[in-house]
Structure 1
Amino acid sequence: MNSIELFAGAGGLAMGIANAGFDHRALVEWNPDACQTIRENHLRYSNGLPGCVLYEGDARTIDYASLAEEGVAIVSGGPPCQPFSLGGKHAGYDDTRDMFPEAVRSIREIHPQAFIFENVKGLLRESFASYLEYIILQLSYPDLARSEGEEWEKHLARLERHHTAGARPDEFAYNVVFRLLNAANYGVPQKRERVFIVGFRRDLGIEWAFPEPTHSEDALLRSKWITGEYWERHGLAMPVVPAKLAARLQRIATNGLGLDKLPWLTVRDAIGDLPDPQANPRNGARDHVFIPGARTYAGHTGSPIDEPSKTLKAGDHGVPGGENMIAMPDGAVRYFTVREAARMQTFPDDYVFHGSWGEIMRQLGNAVPVRLAQVVAAHVHAHLPAP
């Protein structure tokens, strides 16, 4: 099944979709360093086939219809998230960086069987509620385009009237759902929450729901503080149980919580086999170089090594934030190396990143975890008709 990826970044979403069985015919990305990262890993996006083309440039200049000549099962992408980011200026629909209009145009011109778009948790902020509805309705009825000079609120009202009037049998439209997913619940060693928007072309008559979580925090707490399996697996003595967890652990033990899921993966689970980059700078691991200068202050405390990491962020001016540090049990902190951060995002160890340290960490901070993308995309793939 052919696919097209917009706003590909470093390729996390695109790789997960390829791993799920789709063959990318085109990737679209404007950042030169991210494009070079994709070039250096190009065989990962089309099951080893040479047919995947990288378009380096502004998505607004792409003729999407020309990309659909061979038939496209799915369009995917992460429209730039700065307008809705919790760390940004929250300009939203007034921000020229909002690329959701381009996502809608791609659906209008390509007519794929399905699409997968993802964005930051901030998209669900109450102040953006009307605009989120606007996004969903545009994706539901992509042919009902915004007229030149029409204010978005007027277009929203027109979409609402069309939606409540009921769909016509011959109408080109999509059934669209969205949900906030925590990557840790799907086997990613990172508490990263992202909004996924998934749509299926209505004429296909597909019934679909988001995949059920496979991992849980209760299961991790059980393995750490009830069975002790977590510490035994890592060859460590079990620490004293934190007093603040006593009541919750009692509920977990009494009610059998966490028995139906795998434990959340922690930073230690993800990087425990890598050598200490500070103690062993010539460790031979790709991109596993110690970066000095990490320090803590209010709101900048790092990710405890025995929990999933905090959400990796792109940072400002090439400097990652406190979420990009490991916090050791003794209180020491250091920055994740590139390889460690890549593992937090479930990129394979032989994946090559291009750019300075700050630029690579920006690419990683903006990426979708490969494993999360694969889980969602595989669930979509399983429901599409065979080609």
Structure 2
Amino acid sequence: MVELPDDTKRDRTSVELFAGGGGLAMAVHRAGFRPLLFNEFNARACETLEANAKRTLGGDGIRRTEAVDPQPPAAGEPAPLFPLDVTKLNLSAFEGQVDVLAGGPPCQPFSAGGVAKGDEDKRNMFPAMFQAIRQMRPKAVICENVRGLLRPSFKEYFTYIQRELALPFESRNPKDIWQDHNRKLAGILGDAIDLPDGDENPDHYRVKLFPVNAADYGVPQVRNRIVMVAFRADLPIDSDKFYEIYSARQFSEESLLLSMVDDDGEYWQRHPKVPSHVRDRVRARIPKDVRALKGEEELPAWRTLRDAVQGYGTGSKLPALPEVDLGLLDRKTEQAADIGITDHIGWPDARIYKGHTPNEMDRPAKTVKAGVHGVPGGESVVLLDKLAPGSKPGEDATYQHRYMTVRETARVMTFPDEWQGSGPRGEKMRQLGNAVPVALGEFFARAVADTLDKAGQ
């Protein structure tokens, strides 16, 4: 596992666009970056950012401003939050003061769960990212998005996005279609996407693409995404070496399976109260050849939904969330108030049917999505340890189920328990589904900070 520093050496600064509920912003702050500005258009998400500013985004807080020409705050001053259309924002005053620009442009144009119009979709905000780069000239850029950008139907356009990130100052004429601009950029770069060796132009960026599964980075969730990291070409940074080091997965599915293949395995020692019929069901699904890997557990095990609920994350142990009372689902009753945790509230009418399969406690959760009420495809339904009435242990056993609570979902996204979402349940779930898991974002933010340190930047 790559060892990252506990803290960074300099007073690093960041700007966060499309901040949403604050996942990537939290991650960047934890990696040692002081926020200079946040941007978010959604009203509820802005309320969430304000509510959580001092707890999770930096002790200096946030102040709303509709000034289209904001000024960077001094250390100790609250960071401005611009709640309007990002395309109206002029960040020229931040030029030369930003270490990292971070953001996840809205992914609906490219998501398998969206309309998938790509460049034609007015929600495509990649052009706004490139505009911010031209205005601020940050040392590094971290950009997260859906794996759908790698689909064959988007291949040409995604290549264009990477070329734009490499050459952001070669701005596109508003009258040109993107294909024309792509040909112009290709004429500069050739058939490649990377800059040629020796290019130290401060208007250029060296781009590295990381297709990731968040479970491989300690997130208790299977979440396939892409992370793009770009460094300004005039900085003495070996981007190929950066990719070689930080593309390696940090957690392992094989280690998880090995930890539970035996009844006295490490996983079951961590969760001793799991009924034997549940252990038997889980172990029966482990590939028989996994025992051949015994003794080769080089990486920590994937984290599971049960780990998240019981408070076993990648850091210090959290309080276990209490069992949700299935008799209180219609009452919307807080069920963790006695331990100071909010949003652990049941929700009625969860269903399982073909194509709507639930999460299982002893696997990483399915991808948290931001669909209707946050529950498309069964992603927010969880299978419990209790047998359904009349069912008996065995291969055909059926189990009780319910919707995951907001707090359980936040833990699956590696949000801290002090995070408070604004709005009704569906809105909180939408914010979580649109977010970057904090642990995933922090890994790459710390990698960027460490790399800048080693480069004397």
Question: TM class, shorter-chain normalised?
Answer: over 0.9
Contact 1:25 1:46 in 2 (8 A): no
Tell me: CA distance 1:106–1:247, structure 2 relative to 1, closer, same or farther (3 Å): same
1:121 to 147, 157, 167: 147
What is the letter of the counterpart of residue 327 of structure 1?
L
- 1:194 has 2:225 as partner: yes
Deviates more, 1:217-226 or 1:165-174: 165-174
Corresponding letter in the other structure for 1:357: R
Counterparts of 2:334 and 2:136, CA distance in 1:
49
Confirm or deny: 8 A CA contact 2:53 2:59 kept in the other structure.
Answer: no
Q: Which amino acid aligns with 2:234?
A: D
Aligned residue type for 1:65: S
CA displacement 1:231-284 (0-9 Å, x = unmatched): 12211344266455343323323xx44x10111111111112111122574531
Aligned amino acid, residue 255 of structure 2: A
| Equivalent residue, structure 2, for 1:252 | 293
Asked whether 1:232 is paired with 2:237, we answer: no
Compared CA separation, residues 282 and 120, structure 1 to 2 (3 A): closer
Distance in 1 of aligned mates of 2:184 and 2:334? 62
Displacement of 1:164: 2.4
Whole-angstrom distance in 1 between the partners of 2:281 and 2:356: 26
Aligned to 1:175: 206
Q: Which letter maps to 1:233?
A: R
TM-score by length of 1: 0.94
Partner of 1:16: 27
8 Å Cα contact 2:261-2:286 kept in structure 1: no
- CA distance in 2 between partners of 1:91 and 1:170 (Å): 34
Contact 1:211 1:379 (8 Å CA) reproduced:
no
Deviations 1:283-302 (A, max 9, x none): 31311111111101122111
Among 314, 322, 331, the residue aligned to 1:275? 322
Residue type at the aligned position of 1:266: T
Between the aligned partners of 1:246 and 1:364, the Cα distance in structure 2 is 33
Q: Is the 8 A contact 1:23 1:47 kept in 2?
A: no
Distance 1:346 1:319, change over 3 A: closer
Task: Label 1:242 to 1:142 Cα distance change in 2 as closer, same or farther (>3 A).
Answer: same
Partner residue in 1 for 2:412: 344
Q: Verify the 8 A CA contact 2:347 2:402 in the aligned structure 1.
A: yes
Give 1:334's aligned residue. 402
CA distance in 2: counterparts of 1:307 and 1:241, whole angstroms: 9
Distance 1:301-1:173 versus aligned 2 partners, 3 A rule = same
CA–CA separation in structure 2 for the residues paired with 1:63 and 1:359: 29
Q: For 1:70-121, what per-residue CA distance to the aligned partner results, in whole angstroms no more than 9, with x for missing partners?
A: 7001101000000000111210011111001111111111100000000001
Number of the residue aligned with 1:263: 301
What letter matches 1:264 in structure 2? W
- Aligned with 1:83: secondary structure? coil
Report deviation, 1:148.
2.5
Whole-Å separation in 2 of the counterparts to 1:51 and 1:370: 22
Stretch of structure 1 that moved more, 224-233 or 348-357: 224-233
Supply the AA of the counterpart residue of 1:276: E
**Distance change in 2, residues 1:358/1:204 (3 Å):** same
In 2: Cα distance, 1:155 partner to 1:211 partner: 30
Give secondary structure in 1 for the equivalent of 2:280: coil
2:85 is the counterpart of 1:58: yes
Does the 8 Å CA contact 2:96/2:138 hold for their aligned counterparts? no
- TM-score normalised to structure 2 length: 0.80
Q: Which runs of 5+ in 2 are unaligned?
A: 1-11, 61-75, 311-319, 388-398
**Cα distance change, pair 129–282 in 1 and its aligned pair in 2 (3 A):** closer
CA contact 1:12–1:368 (8 Å) conserved in 2: yes
Q: How does 1:147-166 map to 2 (within 5 A)?
A: 147-164=173-190
Q: Determine the structure 2 residue equivalent to 1:380.
A: 448
User: Which amino acid in the other structure matches residue 196 of structure 1?
Assistant: V
Unaligned runs of 5+ in 1: none
Q: How does 1:23-42 map to 2 (within 5 A)?
A: 23-42=34-53
Secondary structure, counterpart of 1:288 in structure 2: coil
Please state whether the residue corresponding to 1:75 is helix, strand or coil: strand
8 Å contact 1:286–1:339 — kept in the other structure?
Answer: yes
| Cα distance in structure 2, aligned partners of 1:196 and 1:122 | 12
Q: Structure 1's 282 and 201: CA in aligned 2 closer, same or farther, altered over 3 A?
A: closer
- Is 1:305 aligned to residue 346 of structure 2? no
3-state SS of 2:290 partner: helix
Q: Map 1:79-98 onto structure 2 (within 5 A).
A: 79-98=105-124
Cα distance, 1:193 vs. partner?
A: 1.2
Q: Distance in 2 between matches of 1:206 and 1:135?
A: 22
> Any residues of structure 2 matched to 1:69-80 within 5 Å, and which?
71-80=97-106
> How many pairs were matched up?
382
Alpha-carbon distance between aligned partners in 2 of 1:56 and 1:149, rounded to the nearest angstrom: 28
Alpha-carbon contact 1:187-1:214 (below 8 Å) kept: yes
Letter in 2 for 1:299: G
SS state at 2:109 partner: helix
CA distance in 2, matches of 1:374, 1:129: 28
Tell me which amino acid in the other structure corresponds to 1:16: A
Give the superposed CA RMSD. 1.9
CA distance in structure 1 between the aligned counterparts of 2:44 and 2:349, rounded to whole angstroms: 24
* Structure 2 residue aligned with 1:46: 58
